[in-house]
Structure 1
Amino acid sequence: MSRYFLSATLILVVGFWHYGRASRILGIFPTPSISHQVVYRGLTLALRERGHELVIVTTDPVNDPNLTNYKEIDVHSLYDIFIQDVDWIATREKDTWSNMFDGFMSKLELECEEILEHPELRKLYAPNSGEKFDLMLIEMLFFPSLMPLATRFDVPVIGMASLGLNLNMQYAVGNPIMPSHPSNWDTDEKIFGELTLWQRMKNFVRIWKYLYKYWTRYMPAQQALARKYFGNDIPDISDIEKNVSLVFVNQQAPITYLRPNVPKIIDIGGFHVTKKIKPLSKDLQKILDDSTQGFIYMSLGSNVKSVMLANGTREEFIAAFSKLPYTVVWKFEDEFLPNQPPNVLIMKWAPQQSILAHPNLKVFIYQGGLQSTEEAISHGVPVIGFPVLADQDIHVSKLASLGVGKKLEILTVKRDELIEAIQSVVYDTSHKKRMLDLRNMLRDKPYDSMENAIWWTEHVIRHKGAPHLQSTLVDEPWYQRQDMDIVFIISAGSLVALCFTLVVFHKLLICSIRAFNKLPSSKKDKLH
């Protein structure tokens, strides 16, 4: 009896101790894209399991009534703003990133205003609401007008990025700006490897032009929006942004173009990859099981859709698939696929991770999204990538350089080129072997990424911030960060010294010539 009493007492003590450490966390994740949201959701649900209470602003709620201590504020309406009149494939052909951002600025402002106008959130951040939090998690992308929420609740901030940190956020947290580094996804040039001097000069000009535009056009508009909802006495949003405690960035070293980062940037990865594969439907399971020669899976993701393909491009895919001896499962977001071959199965929505886990899968044709990349690696499936936007070029290029897949251009793809790529990946077993080696490398690390992120989150809560991780670069002007003032002074000084030397040399030469011409002929003859 005493043994049971002691056990029960210990359980109660541990329980009270655990919940005594529980904190209240506000999460703001505005990007209307499920591929972004599943990354953030992975951490927030894990924090809930730790006993913390969370209030999450999200475009894609879990909507699970069984989740306690997990309130969601649904801003799904942002999809109407974000995807309106957007054809990502057509955009790849016509626009550079700089031009795209010009067009997105007004949309992003509308998104921020929609969030700040949301009745549930307004009630939450009202001055007399009485709401208290211990931490704010926020997506670090293009939403600085939401930063004063941290000031309103007087809490430290942890930023999150579901993809590589974009240039304006790199600058904000004091990361070195390296214009021609291949880790930069938000550039106009999609060139990887050695660059010419001219290409590097173009990168330099374009990146600093983009940053100038961001800080002189976008940030003032965001500051005005923040003052509209939080009052004129709020701090400068750029100051709040640069003082975030940490930034969790969804990057894993083996599949990333590595770059130097300041200490407050913590790599995460694979948060959305499920450890329990859900069973396929009986019909789909039978089709894949019966594909004894193997099958191919194609999906362009949740933002880029196969229905966006131009008619000519779609016909090239259909012609290529019709000549293959494999079943093709194609995520195609329409009821009807013109000229659909008998070996092609179309699905409006596909259980991707369950399909990738099937042993008969030979190759995954995709758009290069980071979350799909992580899923492919976790199941050891070689890939053929057709990047369309944002960071997709980086991921496909990196995997191609590692020998685990191929990269093709979606705007110019031809059937013979696609067939050759598929056969190369399927028949050359080294692609599969290298992908399995890559999977093992991702798994071989000294700590679990989720546990590490939770530890850092609670570290920030315990210490009410992490100023000890702040880089001094954040307080330096742009030219000083890059030592451009020193380079200018040295260059200008060297140029002045060179010009002075040339002038002196020129004067001496003229004087010498004049002196020589004044000599008598007899002395000139002797000098000769």
Structure 2
Amino acid sequence: MLRSFVSATLILLAAFWHYGYASRILGVFPTPSISHQIVFRALTLALRERGHQLVVVTPDPVNDPMLTNYTEIDLHFLYADTDGGENWIETLAKERWTDIQDAYLSTVLTQTELILDHPELKKLYAPNNGQKFNLMMIEMLYYPALLPLATRFDVPVVGITSLGLSLSIHYAIGNPIIPSHSSNWDTEEMIFGEATFWQRLKNFIWVWKFLYKYRTRYMPAQQALARKYFGNDIPDISDIEKNVSVVFVNQQTPISYLRPNIPKVIDIGGFHIAREIKPLPKDLQKILDDSTQGFIYMSLGSNIKSVMLSDEVRREFIAAFSELPYTVIWKFEDDFLANKPENVIIMKWTPQQSILAHPNLKVFIYQGGLQSTEEAVSHGIPVIGLPVFTDQHVHANKMVSLGVGKKLNIHSVNRHDILEAIRTVVLDTSYKRRMMDLRNLLKDKPYDSLKNAIWWTEHVIRHKGAPHLQSTTVDEPWYQRQDMDIVFVISTGFLITSSLAIIAFYRMVNHIRAMIQPISQKVKIN
């Protein structure tokens, strides 16, 4: 009896001690894309389990009334700007990346104002309303006007991304700018492998042109929005952005193109991977179990949809699938698929991780998204990538470089390419073997990524920031960071010296000719 009492007392004391250190955290994750939100959600829910109280601003709320200490501000209306029937496959085939990026930033600017004008959020950040927080977490992408929320509540900031850092954030936090690095997902010309001089020159010009435009046009527009809603006395949003304590970046070393980063950049990854696989629906379970020769799974994700495929490309997939001895599970977002072969089963929604866990799966045909890549690797499934935009090309190419997948051009793919890719990946067992090795490598790490992110989050709370992780390069001018001033001085000096040498040589030649000419004329006369 006494032992039970002591044990219960210790448990209660531990609980009170744990919750005594609980903090209030504001999470702001604006991008209307579930593939982004599932990464953030995994961390915020884990922090709630640690005893912290959270207020989360998101377009994809959990909406679970059973969750305590977890308040959500719903921004689902932002999907109206992104789900307006835009066919990204068609758009990317016709328009330049620069124009698409400009249009997207314009949309984000509009969305930023809608967020700041949201009644619940306005009530939260209204002056003197008594709201207090210990930390703000924010998605580091293209919404810097939301950063003054941290100033309003006088709290440090933890940034987080669901994909690799954009060039604008690399620059903002003082990370090295490497224009032609394979990890870049937002350059006009993506380069994988060795780049030519002209490719590097083109990317160098494009990157610095983009950063100039971003810093001189887009950031002032965001600053104007911030002042409109928070007042004219707020700090420059660029200063708040560069002083973010840490930035969690959803990248894992074995499946990423590695690049140098400053200390405040902390890699995370695999947050959304299910610890326990949910059972498949009974009818789907039976279909997959009965596919004794194996089955193929195709899904282009949540932002890119199979219904966006052109009629011509769709016909090529249908023709290719009809020649296969395998069942094909195709995530197809319509009720009807014309000329569908008998071995093809279409589904508007699929329990992806449960399908990837099935032992009969041979290959995963996908768009190259990061979360899908992580899921494929975690289940040891070789892939065939059909990338469309942003970081999808990066991940598809990385899978090819690791020998665990193939890549096809979604705009011009034909049935022969599809069949060759499927047969190669399925019949050549080295793809599966290398993918299993990659899975083991991904799992072999000294700590759990989610627990590490929680530790760093609480580290920032305990120390009220992390200025000890700040890079000195963040305060240097752009030209000094890249030593462009030194290159300019050396180049100018070399040009001036070369020009003077050429002029001197030219004058010397003319002088010698002037001296030789009278002598030659004299010789001719004689």
TM-score (norm 1): 0.97
Would you say the 8 A contact 2:181–2:191 is kept in 1?
no
Question: How far off is 1:188 after superposition?
Answer: 1.2
Residues 432-458 of structure 1: per-residue CA shift (max 9 Å, x gap): 000000001111111111111111111
Residue equivalent to 2:68: 68
The answer on whether the counterparts of 1:333 and 1:347 sit within 8 Å (CA) in structure 2 is: yes
Q: Deviations over 1:415-469 (max 9, x none)?
A: 0110111000000010000000000111111111111111111110011111111
Indicate conservation of the 8 Å contact 1:246/1:264, yes or no: yes
Q: Which residue of 1 aligns with 2:115?
A: 115
**Alpha-carbon distance in 1 for matches of 2:192, 2:159:** 28
Distance in 1 between the 2:520 and 2:451 partners?
94
Displacement of 1:278 in angstroms is 0.3
Q: Supply the distance in 1 between the matched residues of 2:157 and 2:240 (Cα, whole angstroms).
A: 9
Superposition deviation, residue 508 in structure 1: 2.8
**1:286 equivalenced with 2:298 (yes/no):** no
Structure-2 separation of matches of 1:60 and 1:329: 27
C-alpha distance in 2 between matches for 1:483 and 1:85: 45
Partner of residue 243, structure 1? 243
Q: Identify the residue that residue 445 of structure 1 maps to in structure 2.
A: 445
The AA in structure 1 aligned to 2:36 is: H
Could you tell which deviates more after superposition, 497-506 or 389-398?
497-506
- Give the whole-Å Cα distance in 2 for the aligned partners of 1:319 and 1:264: 50
Q: Quick one: structure 1 residues 45 and 521, their matched pair in 2 at CA, closer, same or farther if it must change by over 3 Å?
A: same
Residue in 2 that maps onto 1:154: 154
Tell me what 1:191 maps to: 191
CA-CA distance at 1:302 after TM superposition: 0.4
Distance 2:512 2:423 in 1: 77
- Code of the residue aligned with 1:375 in structure 2: it is E
Which residue in the other structure is 1:483 paired with? Answer: 483
Secondary structure of 1:159 counterpart: strand
CA distance in 2, matches of 1:520, 1:408: 73
TM-superposed CA distance for 1:29, in Å, is 0.4
Q: How much does 1:517 deviate?
A: 4.6
Measured after TM superposition, the shift of residue 64 of structure 1 is 1.2
Give the counterpart letter for 2:67 in structure 1: L
* Consecutive unaligned residues in structure 2, runs of 5 or more: none
Deviations 1:252-273 (A, max 9, x none): 1111111111111000000000
Aligned match of 2:412? 412
Provide the C-alpha distance between the structure 2 equivalents of 1:398 and 1:25, rounded to a whole number of angstroms.
36
Residue equivalent to 1:90: 90
Whether the 8 Å contact between 2:184 and 2:190 is mirrored in structure 1 is no
Q: Are the counterparts in 2 of residues 81 and 110 from structure 1 also a CA contact under 8 Å?
A: no
Q: How far is 1:518 from its partner?
A: 5.6
Counterpart CA distance in 2 for 1:91 and 1:364 is 25
The letter of the residue matching 1:6 is: V
Instruction: State the alpha-carbon separation in 1 of the partners of residues 425 and 43 from structure 2.
Output: 35
Q: Which residue of 1 aligns with 2:227?
A: 227
**Contact 2:180–2:190 (CA under 8 A) maintained in structure 1:** no
Work out whether residues 384 and 408 of structure 2, in 8 Å CA contact, stay in contact via their aligned partners in 1.
Answer: yes
1:86 positional shift: 1.6
Match of 2:369 in 1: 369
Partner of 2:346: 346
Write the distance in 2 (CA, Å) between the matches of 1:16 and 1:296: 51
Residues 221-240 of structure 1: per-residue CA shift (max 9 Å, x gap): 11111111001111111111
Aligned-residue offset at 1:105 = 2.3
For residue 382 of structure 1, report the CA deviation from its aligned partner.
Answer: 0.3
Counterparts of residues 281-320 of structure 1 (less than 5 Å): 281-320=281-320
The whole-number CA distance in structure 2 between the counterparts of 1:113 and 1:510 is: 70
**Partner Cα separation in structure 2 for residue 511 and residue 303 of structure 1:** 73
CA distance in structure 1 between the partners assigned to 2:508 and 2:184 by the alignment: 52
CA distance in 1: counterparts of 2:448 and 2:343, whole angstroms: 41
Q: Give the corresponding residue for 1:434.
A: 434
Deviation at 1:200, TM superposition (A): 1.1
CA distance in 1, matches of 2:358, 2:95: 38
* Residue in structure 2 matched with residue 504 of structure 1 by the alignment: 504
- Provide the C-alpha distance between the structure 1 equivalents of 2:232 and 2:45, rounded to a whole number of angstroms: 35
The AA in structure 2 aligned to 1:347 is M
Question: Which SS does the other structure have where 1:77 is aligned?
Answer: helix
Query: Which amino acid is the alignment partner of residue 425 of structure 1?
Result: V
Equivalent AA in structure 2 for residue 56 of structure 1:
V
Give me the whole-angstrom Cα distance separating, in 2, the residues matched to 1:96 and 1:352. 32
Seen in structure 2, the aligned counterparts of structure 1 residues 203 and 521 have a Cα distance that, compared at 3 Å, is: closer
SS at match of 1:71: strand
Q: Which amino acid aligns with 2:465?
A: G
Q: Is 1:145 paired with 2:114?
A: no
Quick check: 1:81 aligned with 2:81?
Answer: yes
Tell me the alpha carbon deviations over residues 460-509 of structure 1, each in whole angstroms, 9 at most, x when there is no partner.
00111111111111111111111111000000001111111222223333
Partner-residue secondary structure (3-state), 1:461:
helix
CA RMSD of aligned residues (A): 1.4
What's 2:175 paired with? Answer: 175
3-state SS, counterpart of residue 406 of structure 2: strand
Q: 1 CA distance for matches of 2:219 and 2:185?
A: 21
Give the 5 Å matches for 1:33-72: 33-72=33-72
Alignment partners' CA distance in 2, 1:372 and 1:92: 21
Identity of counterpart residues, as a percentage?
69
2:495 aligns with 495
How much has 1:67 moved relative to structure 2?
Answer: 1.0
Q: Deviations over 1:31-79 (max 9, x none)?
A: 1110000000111111111111110001111111111111111110100
- Which residue in 2 is equivalent to 1:359? 359
- Which residue identity is paired with 2:11? I
Q: For residue 84 of structure 2, give the secondary structure of its aligned residue in structure 1.
A: coil
Distance 1:218 1:91 in 2: 23
Structure 1 residues 521, 224: closer, same or farther in 2, change over 3 A? closer
Deviations 1:118-165 (A, max 9, x none): 111111100021100010000000000101000000000011110010
Distance 1:511 1:372, change over 3 A: same
Cα deviation code 1:186-223 (max 9, x no counterpart): 01113311111111111111111111111122111111
Tell me, what secondary structure is at the counterpart of 2:14? Answer: helix
SS in 2 for 1:60: coil
Counterpart in the other structure of 1:257 = 257
Question: Which residue matches 1:124?
Answer: 124
The letter of the residue matching 2:120 is: E
CA contact (8 A) 1:182 1:192 kept: yes
Distance in 2 separating the partners of 1:520 and 1:373: 80
Secondary structure of the residue aligned to 2:73 is: strand
Separation (CA, whole Å) in 1 of partners of 2:105 and 2:266:
28
Q: 2-side partners of 1:293 and 1:360: how far apart?
A: 8
